[in-house]
């Protein structure tokens, strides 16, 4: 598995997400070596002040000088060597990412856009990954979508007209589609994006040795519902009437169907969509995170300590309607009173 991961990074092969996460746990770092397999310098001018290229272009000082590169955005599994990042008068942004379908680039889109904009104002930007094909092409496509207010199709066509090999993997394409759906910004009220963040947060937990979530996903944690006004509360504990779930925390799903973040239905109004009314699933709230068991366990009412449900970041759980929800924060309907 470790050899497979090393080869996938070097030769652009895409492994199933489960295999990659398994390899990550036992093999957290793959050293980048510069040997006979390292590609030649290769970069393409996308527009004035913006270049898309490979790792070799980013570490070649002559190339950086020739193209007057002032900013380098690296989206790779390893950072650039110190002899490059210490070059005077240059700015660097490093985004750690593997070229696998389950990798999260969407949450980095805004910082990438800001960095490229700054680079174009002050000089020229090189955006690169290992081959300059998938990860870096994704960020350049995202930038063009945002800058010109154009569709994914038009932005990617523009990139490929300058660099024919540009080819974001299927997961990155889905993220770009969601970005387009949200109007080229990250909308935390969008139901489809909330499902995406929940999946990304679970992946973040699985990669962390300390079982801590990356700060990028802290926004998915809902505020304490006992601070809400009555009109904002969706469910209370039946035993002690403690507010447990805010209206914005409820995650709807259709009977018998696992809600997927790639399903555009969750981005729009749900009028006319037949939703399940047998199980109650939500986003995590702050009171649920105050536990010694970060991955799975019981949900206890913070006031009376009665069991009101359960949670599982990895395995999830099944609704009575047979829909599999993962990650899952599930409430037992008989333990709650509905306020909506």
Q: Kindly write down the DSSP assignment for every residue of 147-191, as one continuous string.
A: HHT--HHHHHHHHHHH-TT----HHHHHHHHHHHHTTSS--TT-H
d(CA 161, CA 304): 63
Q: How many CB atoms lie within 10 A of CB 62?
A: 8
Sign of CA dihedral 20, 209, 95, 43: negative
Q: 68 — phi, psi (to 5°)?
A: 55, 45
Helices 135-148 and 109-122, axial angle in degrees (round to 10): 70
Q: Kindly write down the DSSP assignment for every residue of 266-309, as one continuous string.
A: GGS--TT-----S-EEB--BHHHH-SS-SSEEEEE-TTT--EEE
d(CA 39, CA 57): 9
d(CA 144, CA 194): 24
Q: What is residue 75's DSSP assignment?
A: E
Distance from the Cα of residue 336 to its chain's centroid: 32
Residues acting as catalytic residues: 129
Sign of CA dihedral 257, 202, 8, 57: positive
Q: 273 — phi, psi (to 5°)?
A: -90, 125
d(CA 81, CA 70): 17
């Amino acid at each position: 598995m470790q050899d497979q991961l090393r080869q996938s990074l070097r030769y652009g092969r895409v492994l199933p997400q489960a295999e990659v996460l398994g390899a990550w746990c036992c093999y957290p770092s793959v050293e980048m070596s510069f040997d006979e397999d390292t590609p030649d310098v290769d970069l393409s001018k996308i527009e004035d002040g913006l270049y898309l290229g490979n790792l070799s272009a980013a570490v070649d000082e002559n190339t950086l000088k020739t193209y007057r590169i002032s900013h380098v955005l690296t989206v790779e599994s390893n950072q650039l060597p110190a002899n490059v990042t210490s070059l005077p008068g240059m700015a660097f942004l490093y985004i750690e990412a593997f070229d696998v379908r389950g990798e999260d680039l969407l949450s980095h889109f805004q910082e990438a856009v800001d960095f490229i904009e700054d680079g174009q104002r002050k000089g020229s930007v090189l955006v690169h990954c290992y081959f300059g094909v998938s990860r870096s092409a994704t960020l350049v496509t995202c930038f063009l979508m945002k800058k010109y207010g154009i569709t994914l199709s038009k932005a990617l066509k523009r990139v490929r007209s300058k660099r024919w090999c540009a080819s974001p993997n299927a997961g990155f394409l889905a993220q770009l589609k969601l970005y387009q759906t949200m109007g080229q910004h990250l909308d935390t009220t969008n139901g489809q994006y909330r499902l995406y963040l929940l999946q990304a947060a679970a992946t973040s937990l699985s990669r962390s040795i300390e079982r801590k979530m990356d700060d990028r996903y802290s926004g998915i944690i809902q505020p304490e519902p006992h601070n809400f006004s009555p009109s904002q509360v969706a469910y209370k504990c039946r035993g002690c009437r403690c507010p447990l779930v805010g209206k914005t925390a409820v995650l709807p799903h259709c009977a018998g169907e696992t809600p997927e973040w790639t399903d555009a239905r969750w981005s729009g109004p749900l009028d006319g969509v037949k939703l399940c009314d047998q199980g109650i699933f939500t986003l995590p709230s702050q009171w649920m995170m105050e536990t010694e068991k970060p991955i799975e366990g019981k949900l206890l009412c913070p006031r009376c300590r009665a069991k009101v449900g359960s949670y599982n970041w990895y395995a999830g759980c099944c609704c009575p309607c047979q829909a599999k929800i993962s990650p899952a924060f599930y409430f037992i309907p008989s333990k709650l009173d509905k306020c909506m």
